[in-house]
């Protein structure tokens, strides 16, 4: 088995994904330093507490994972796709049903094993996409079958969504299910199956939202944000104030006035509002464009990739990055209902940063294996 494989064309990485990833991380760390300094001083008497945590558990681990993923021959993931997904499912079950699960902010998403604390739901973003890419690229003729194609697809997606919703992590479930639908579409599945999946997914989302008061409150607050500006709409109200006050060029680095006493979760769920406040419309647009280039590039690379598994991996990861970026920015801007979703490569969270760096590493490895790096 080939574990590491070089490209016969010289092994040069795709520079758009490579530079885009690390440019986002560098800009993100600068913004993160500003957004977290007052909060760290207030809670821990250390202005750099959160930054040090992000550097140690996010960037350092992520750099190692990026390097390994960029060197590890991506087709080997296909051989272990089932094992990787089952392993992640076991971790999620341990979070939900054993004392190893650690709650924070009303959500049970963290697994604590000795000194190690991480989010298995972030790992699921990689293993779920790897599994789907493997399954959809193997024996593609079964995609025409209800029993051998559509039903198993619904079962694996439903099981994955339920494990996330129980945490609860509805936004992560929505992102992964939409990613699955996009991958299903590009794999060549019957259009009727795709439409049926979307209808079932929407029905399930609204039923779950209606049955859980806090989820339903988020939907109603989105439809009428001015009704509860001091309760359910408080975060989005102050996020809009922060974004609007940034104007065209922003207030300047470190000059945000909403990040400490007004805007909740300025280092994770609300960090784009801090970006817009300090860097203005121009700075926020620049960051959005970096994401857009990475996403478009992943689809262009997928088009050039002759291997079906590699193609679906690129589509899945590009879709994941795109959806999570849109949901973070859209939610904090009031375009969609408020969700607790981090901005990839930028928001606070060691596990999230490390996982997205690993995703970039896998995409780079695919590009080195197949492509000549010309658009």
Question: What is the CB neighbour count within 10 angstroms for residue 300?
Answer: 16
User: Alpha-carbon distance 201 to 53, whole Å?
Assistant: 37
Per the listing, tokens 């039923």 go with 207
User: Alpha-carbon distance 135 to 309, whole Å?
Assistant: 9
Out of 9-13, 145-149, 169-173, 248-252, which region has the weakest mean confidence (pLDDT)? 9-13
| Exposure string over 256-286, b if 16+ CB within 10 A, otherwise e | bebbeebbebbbbbbbbbbbbbbbbeebbee
Out of 53-62, 260-269, 300-309, 315-324, which region has the weakest mean confidence (pLDDT)? 260-269
If one compares 374 and 114, the residue with the highest pLDDT of the two is 114
Structural contact between residues 362 and 313, judged by C-beta atoms closer than 8 angstroms: yes
User: Alpha-carbon distance 181 to 193, whole Å?
Assistant: 10
Q: Which of 70, 133, 88, 96 is nearest to 351 (CA)?
A: 88
Structural contact between residues 257 and 291, judged by C-beta atoms closer than 8 angstroms: no
First-to-last C-alpha distance (Å) of the chain: 31
Chain centroid to CA 254: how far?
26
Domain extent listing, the chain: 15-369
Out of 33-47, 48-62, 82-96, 123-137, which region has the weakest mean confidence (pLDDT)? 33-47
pLDDT one-digit tens code per residue, 36-72: 888 888 888 888 899 999 999 999 999 999 999 999 9
Q: Looking at residue 38, what is its pLDDT?
A: 85
Q: Which of 113, 234, 214, 95 is nearest to 166 (CA)?
A: 95
- 373 CB-near residues (< 8 Å, 6+ apart): 12, 13, 14, 15, 367
| Exposure string over 82-105, b if 16+ CB within 10 A, otherwise e | eebbeebbebbebbbeeeebeeee
Judge whether residue 230 has pLDDT over 90.
no
Out of 47-61, 96-110, 177-191, 344-358, which region has the weakest mean confidence (pLDDT)? 96-110
User: What's the whole-number average pLDDT of the chain?
Assistant: 86
Structural contact between residues 119 and 127, judged by C-beta atoms closer than 8 angstroms: no
Q: Which of 161, 197, 159 is nearest to 176 (CA)?
A: 161
How far apart, in Å, are the Cα atoms of 294 and each of 126, 188, 300, 316, 318? 17, 24, 10, 13, 7
């Amino acid at each position: 088995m080939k574990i590491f494989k070089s490209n016969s064309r010289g092994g040069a990485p795709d520079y758009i994904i490579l530079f885009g990833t690390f440019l986002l991380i560098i800009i993100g760390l600068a913004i993160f330093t500003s957004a977290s300094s007052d909060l760290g001083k207030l809670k821990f008497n250390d202005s750099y507490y959160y930054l040090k945590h992000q550097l140690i558990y996010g960037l350092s681990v992520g750099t190692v994972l990026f390097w390994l993923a960029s060197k590890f021959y991506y087709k080997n993931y296909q051989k272990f796709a089932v094992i990787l997904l089952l392993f992640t499912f076991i971790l999620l079950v341990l979070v939900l049903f054993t004392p190893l699960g650690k709650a924070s902010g009303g959500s049970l998403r963290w697994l604590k094993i000795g000194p190690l604390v991480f989010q298995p739901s972030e790992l699921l973003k990689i293993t779920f996409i790897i599994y789907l890419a493997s399954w959809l690229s193997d024996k593609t003729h079964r995609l025409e079958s209800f029993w051998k194609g559509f039903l198993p697809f619904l079962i694996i997606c439903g099981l994955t969504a339920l494990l996330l919703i129980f945490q609860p992590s509805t936004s992560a479930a929505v992102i992964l299910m939409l990613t699955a639908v996009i991958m299903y579409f590009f794999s060549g599945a019957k259009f009727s199956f795709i439409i049926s999946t979307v209808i079932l997914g929407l029905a399930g989302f609204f039923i779950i939202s209606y049955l859980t008061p806090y989820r339903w409150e988020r939907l109603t607050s989105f439809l009428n944000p001015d009704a509860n500006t001091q309760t359910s709409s408080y975060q989005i109200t102050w996020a809009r104030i922060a974004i609007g006050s940034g104007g065209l060029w922003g207030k300047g680095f470190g000059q945000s006035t909403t990040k400490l006493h007004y805007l909740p979760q300025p280092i994770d769920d609300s960090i784009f509002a801090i970006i817009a406040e300090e860097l203005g419309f121009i700075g926020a647009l620049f960051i959005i464009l970096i994401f857009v280039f990475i996403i478009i590039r992943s689809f262009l690379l997928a088009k050039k990739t002759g291997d079906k598994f590699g193609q679906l991996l690129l589509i899945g990861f590009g879709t994941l990055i795109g959806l999570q970026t849109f949901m973070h920015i859209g939610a904090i801007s009031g375009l969609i209902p408020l969700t607790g979703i981090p901005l990839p490569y930028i928001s606070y969270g060691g596990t999230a940063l490390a996982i997205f760096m690993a995703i970039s590493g896998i995409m780079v490895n695919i590009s080195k294996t197949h492509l000549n790096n010309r658009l």
